[in-house]
Amino acid sequence: MDIEEQYDKIYRYCYFKLYDKHTAQDITQEAFLRFYKQKLSLDKSSELPYLYTIAKNLCVDAFRKKTYENADDLEQPKKSADPSEGWTNNLAIRAAVAKLPNEEQEVLFLRYVNDESLSYICRITGLSRFSVYRRLKKALNTMKKELMKEGF
């Protein structure tokens, strides 16, 4: 496993979940620390899904702990000049992605941003291959309809 490549992917995943650069960096580091404590007991094929699972659980914990200063933060993620946001720089695409359920956003992110295979996405999310494929197809169709409304 290429650590630098996976580090960037896990960071982007955490940022996608939390929309906070510093928290995403902290969680990424913590995820790798926890991963390396357990790495010896893992086989090669389960390392990456396990790393994503650690990151996902840490993101959930961080999200639960975070206090919001006002209710607007719950509806609209913080805007940032973070380079990992490049996949949603276009406002129309960002709006179309925001209308998708979180589960569909996650599989789109894992597949097209982090370029994970369907088998890894299945292991990360705990879904069957058919369910992942169906969510991807549904999300892409929904985005296509939304973008067509915007004139794309």
Residue % of the chain over a pLDDT of 70: 84
Contact assessment for residue 17 and residue 56, using Cβ atoms and an 8 Å cutoff = yes
Q: Residue 17's pLDDT is what? A: 87
Q: What domains lie within the chain, and their CATH numbers?
A: 1-88 (no CATH), 90-152 (1.10.10.10)
**In whole angstroms, how far apart are CA 73 and each of 40, 92, 120, 135?**
40, 20, 32, 27
CA torsion angle 64 69 73 79 (round to 10): -110
Tell me the backbone φ, ψ of residue 80, rounded to 5 degrees: -145, 155
Q: pTM of whole model > 0.85?
A: no
pLDDT digits (tens, 9 = 90+) for 30-39: 999 999 888 7
pLDDT of residue 2: 76
* Mean predicted confidence (pLDDT) in 118-127: 90
Q: What is the pLDDT of residues 50-101, one digit of tens each?
A: 899 999 999 988 888 875 443 444 444 444 445 445 444 467 787 888 889 9
What is the overall mean pLDDT for the chain? Answer: 81
Pick 85 or 126 by higher pLDDT.
126
For 23, the token pair is 């928290």
Confidence of residue 1 (pLDDT cuts 50, 70, 90): low
Cβ neighbours of residue 57 under 8 Å, at least 6 residues apart?
none
Contacts of 64 (CB under 8 A, 6+ apart): none
